[in-house]
Amino acid sequence: MARRPLPRILSNGSAQLARSRELARTAADSATDVLHPLITITRGLRRLAAAGRRRWADTPKERRGALLFLVASVILVVALVPYGPLLAVITLMTAAAWQGRDRAPASPDGPDEMQSRRLKSLYEALVPYFSTAEDPEPLYAHGGAWDKAFPTYAFDGGGRISHLVVRYPAYFTDSEAEARARIEHLLVAKSGRGREYHFTWDEEGNQLTVGVLLPLPVDITAQRFVTAPGETVLGFTDPTEVRRTLPLTYGEQRRDVPPVVWRTGLRSTEPHLLALGQPGSGTSTLLRSIALQALQHGDVVIVDGGGTGEYACLTGRDGVLAVECGLTGALASLEWAATETERRLIAANRAHQAGQPPPDDTKRPLWILLDRPTAFTHLAAADDRKDPQSLLQVPLRHGRPAHVTVVVADQLDCLDALSEPVRQHTRARVVLGPATAEQLESALGAPPHTTPVDQVPPGRGYARLGTGPVHRLQVPATPNPYDDATPDAHREAVLALLPPRTTPADGETVPEPDGVPGEPEPVPTDREPEPAPVAVASKTPEPQPEPVPVQVAETPEPQPERVPVVTKDPLPNPVPVLTKPTEAKRG
């Protein structure tokens, strides 16, 4: 069956339709020009009528009769005067034309004298970088016209450049980082310091777009973010960098802010994080924010190398396995974390070989948060003990299949003091506080597209997840609630997010619930892999002949809490079964 051809207007009538639209648009523009006086007079009559109605509404009722008599008298006089009606109509049309005129201020055709002088100065400064003697028609030349080089520009209220498009010749080496850095440094110096600029290089069009970035909001406090399990909000960035927004609460107000979301888990390409910054830049705030989010679905082990008590609010909380500030406790906790990672891997491997799903105790996320681990390096070297960073090799290398995540925060100057596994396996990077472009490139692996400033608020910096772009970052305010300098609003926000305190602060004994309604059971007795090595021997309610002696023998340096239980002061009932004399009698 032969196909019927399309109508001519659909097959080859696109040009006719385009011409018809153009003719219609031209006729409309012409009609608007012709009828412009009539449109102006009509607008003026409408405004005069509205003014008359307002005047009548504002007149008191007792004076409206006198006003009506005055208007009627004027109309009668105008009607009796020769040519009065004609003069009245002309006067009314003139008043309507005056009231109906376009009152919008006319925008200036070009920059004023001060703006022209600033653009001329910037043009002259770029001449040595964008000109060469062999160019027959140079775009940049001393005494040349700057309007060809700057097709688009904008100024803020202070007279400084806020937006600029720079054209440059094709022979400029825009693919070299050094050449770009020189131009960006010059534009920042001539446009105004103290602001953050964003540079967009268009190599194909030989154009550079310079924009001034607005400051990121610093009033975002800690709160429950709308995220899925395995997603952690590091902070917030510019709306043009990410496509996702999160609803945030500001008292009674709500607004959407674009976040920087870090994804962990089995399918994550950046399973571990490294945060660097100067003292007071907000790295501890970032770790507290991550800990509060991680406690919703997992367990946390915290090692504080600073020893300032920044994480005391998390001690004894539900899901917090340990908060260590000393070298001995840090070694014991990290050694248990390495053993727990191996146990999870072995259990998951056996389940996979048997064709079964992994056990539930291997799928609960375990977070290891370390603040300033390099401080323990010097202490360990002085006491001739093991460096705690050496115990992170197993969680860093095999943590992703075991649902173990490591977050390390340290000072920016101590980057070289971090161990090789830490630098190699922490592909998600955050740099907070003031830093030079060289430091940012060394820590993040790529230079940012914005210019860093010297003075920034706490929690302000840059973030890069793997090989992705570099984002500006503002960490939500999560201060220490026990600090006297913390504002009341921020303290209440952090305390509202803390889990209930279900275990004692020392972590030695956990009493069984005596039928108290509403009291949750202790977390370490529900899950076997969670208790730290310090609490293993004391929290076992039933005698176990084999696992406990092996665990005691593997610990190279017994903790002070464990010695009274194992050797000196045996407790009644189950404890004598765990002691070494019992094993001797068996032998």
Q: Is 175 annotated as a binding residue?
A: no
Residue 259 assigned as binding residue = no
Question: Was 279 annotated as part of a binding site?
Answer: yes
C-alpha to C-alpha distance for 534 and 553, rounded to whole angstroms: 13
**223 labeled part of a ligand binding site:** no
CA gap 90, 101 in Å, rounded: 17
Beta bridge partners of 300: 320, 367
Let me know: does 191 contact 197? Beta carbons within 8 Å.
yes
Which residues neighbour 231 within 8 Å (Cβ) at sequence distance 6 or greater? 261, 262, 263
Q: Find all residues with CB under 8 Å of 400, minimum gap 6, and list them.
A: 265, 266, 268, 271
Q: What Å distances lie between residue 316 and 300, 313, 540, CA to CA?
A: 11, 8, 19
How far is Cα 86 from Cα 77, in angstroms, rounded to an integer? 13
**Contact of 510 with 526, CB cutoff 8 Å:** no
Tell me which residue of 396, 366, 363 sits closest to 299, measured CA to CA.
366
Residue 121 annotated in ligand binding: no
Q: Is 419 annotated as a binding residue?
A: no
Tell me which residue of 246, 279, 278, 292 sits closest to 407, measured CA to CA. 292
Q: Is 73 annotated as a binding residue?
A: no
Find tokens 């997992």 and name the residue: 298
Q: Which of 336, 406, 392, 322 is nearest to 557 (CA)?
A: 336
Instruction: Determine if residue 517 is labeled as part of a ligand binding site.
Output: no
Q: What's the rounded Cα separation, in Å, for the pair 496 and 366? A: 22
CA distances from residue 8 to 17, 20, 208, 470 in whole angstroms, order as listed: 12, 16, 46, 54
Distance CA 448, CA 14 (A): 47
* Three-class DSSP category at 163: strand
d(Cα 100, Cα 94) in Å, to the nearest integer? 10
Beta-carbon neighbour count of residue 539 at 10 Å?
A: 17
The secondary structure of residue 150, as a DSSP letter, is -
226 token code pair: 């709308």
Rama region for 339: left / alpha / beta (φ>0; ψ in -120 to 50; rest): alpha
CB 371 within 8 A of CB 306: yes
Q: Which two tokens stand for residue 184?
A: 């960006």
Give the C-alpha distances (Å, rounded to integers) separating 276 from 130, 204, 363, 384, 446. Answer: 38, 36, 29, 27, 15
| Residue 370 to residue 327: CA distance in whole angstroms | 12
Burial of 102 (0-12, 13-18, 19+ CB in 10 A): exposed
User: Annotated binding site, which residues?
Assistant: 277-284
User: Annotated binding site for ATP, which residues?
Assistant: 277-284
